[in-house]
Each structure stands twice: as C-alpha cells, then as structure tokens.
Amino acid sequence: MSDPATTTAPTEDRSPWLRRAAWAGLAVVIGIAAAFGARLGLPPGVVDSPLLGSPAPHVELQRLDGPGTIALEDLRGRVVVVNFWASWCVPCREENDDLLAAAARYDDVTFLGIVYQDSPEAARAFLDELGQGYDHLMDPNSRAAIDFGVFGIPETFFIDRDGTVAAKIIGTSNLGVLSSTLEAVLAGEDPRSIVLDGYQSQR
C-alpha cells in the first residue's frame, strides 16, 4: 500500500503553480475583453493614445468626390475632427447622424471623414443613403490609418488649432460625446474628464 504522504505531496506542490496559471489566464481574458470593449457597443469615451499631445500626422489625401486633395497642415488654425469609417462598418452607420449633427452645430470646426479599407463606390453609396455633410477622403494604402495608429473603426480624432492631437474616441460616437469633446478642445482644455462627465449626465 502506498504511503498517503507520498501521494498527496506532489499535488500540494503543484497547486500554487496551477493557481498562478489560472489567474494569469483570467488576466489575459480580461485584458482582451477590455481591449475590444469599445467594439462591442460599450459607451464611447475619450481614450489615451500615443498621439495625444503630439503633432497630427502629415496627411494629404484625395477627395472621395471632387478634384484635388486636402492636407491637414493646410487646416492649421482650425479645430479638425478626423473620423475613420467604412461602408461595411455597422457602428459607422450608427454614428453618422450624430457626426452630421455635430458638423452642422460647429461651423467653425472642420470635419473630415477618411474611408478605411473600402472602395470609392461603396463609400459613395453609403453617403448617398445616410447623408454627407463634409468632405471625405480616400486612404487607398491605409497610410493615414497607420500614421494615426488606427486599431479598428470607427475611430475619431480631434486636432486643435495648433495642429496637435488633443483627443481620440474609439467606438460609436454620439452627439453628446462629440459636443463635450469639441467644447473642451475649443476652450483649450483637456477633453478627457469633461467628456466622461458629459456622458454620465446623459444617462
């Protein structure tokens, strides 16, 4: 007959390691869920980005409709909202009305849509259906998306009058979040706390 001490000791030795492995696995799952939370319909909010406080990337892209290009550097002196979107993106469809409303409300702000990994034909059909209130640009090689560090769409960036990236929103934006962010940027304030407070007040 085997000695109970010799049969239980290995299990006791392994249990701390197993517990650590289980906790590590749980941490990975939580981290993944947090990273993708905005893509699952959670409330949008201003988030950290390596670009915050840095000059906006040097972007010059062809208009989706009409001749010529638009360069961000030429818009220095104005607040600019850059929204990355595509016709196949369901959250992009959901936020379009709010982006149009914000663009109409803030006529001193330039709104730009950048078409992400989509065809001009599909992008035009999307805008013909849902409405177009500002310029949209094609990014055929995703160079602008790479320079902005776009992870998934929709993503919206706010550039202040000095050409500095002041804020970033991931996920489906809404008029309240867009307005709160713009009010902060126009006032030269840090948008992050103001936007989150503004969202809470709408609930």
Looking at the structure, tell me whether residues 48 and 28 fall in a common domain.
no
Low-confidence ranges of the chain (pLDDT < 50): 1-2, 4-13, 16, 18-45, 193-203
Looking at the structure, tell me whether residues 165 and 101 fall in a common domain.
yes
Looking at the structure, tell me whether residues 120 and 176 fall in a common domain.
yes
pTM of the model: 0.72
Looking at the structure, tell me whether residues 111 and 192 fall in a common domain.
yes
In which residue are the tokens 């469809």 written?
Answer: 93
Residue 192: per-residue pLDDT: 62
Residue 89 token pair: 């993106």
The contacts of residue 198 (CB under 8 Å, 6+ apart) are 176, 177, 179, 180
Number of domains in the chain: 2
pLDDT over 90, % of the chain: 63
Tell me whether strands 155-159 and 165-170 are parallel, antiparallel or unpaired.
Answer: antiparallel
Calculate the average pLDDT of the chain.
79
State the CATH number of the domain containing residue 163: 3.40.30.10
Looking at the structure, tell me whether residues 72 and 21 fall in a common domain.
no
Residue 200: per-residue pLDDT: 35
The one-letter amino acid code at 111 reads F
pLDDT tens digit string along 118-161? 999 999 999 999 999 999 999 999 999 999 999 889 999 999 99
Looking at the structure, tell me whether residues 104 and 146 fall in a common domain.
yes
Gap between the Cα atoms of 133 and 106, Å rounded: 12
Domain coverage including residue 171: 44-202
Residue 186: per-residue pLDDT: 95
Residue 48: per-residue pLDDT: 55
Gap between the Cα atoms of 98 and 178, Å rounded: 8
Looking at the structure, tell me whether residues 10 and 56 fall in a common domain.
no
Q: What is the DSSP string of 121-189?
A: HHHHHHHHHH---SEEEE-TT-HHHHHHT--SS-EEEEE-TTSBEEEEEES---HHHHHHHHHHHHTT-
Gap between the Cα atoms of 159 and 88, Å rounded: 26
Looking at the structure, tell me whether residues 157 and 64 fall in a common domain.
yes
Looking at the structure, tell me whether residues 32 and 52 fall in a common domain.
no
The one-letter amino acid code at 73 reads E
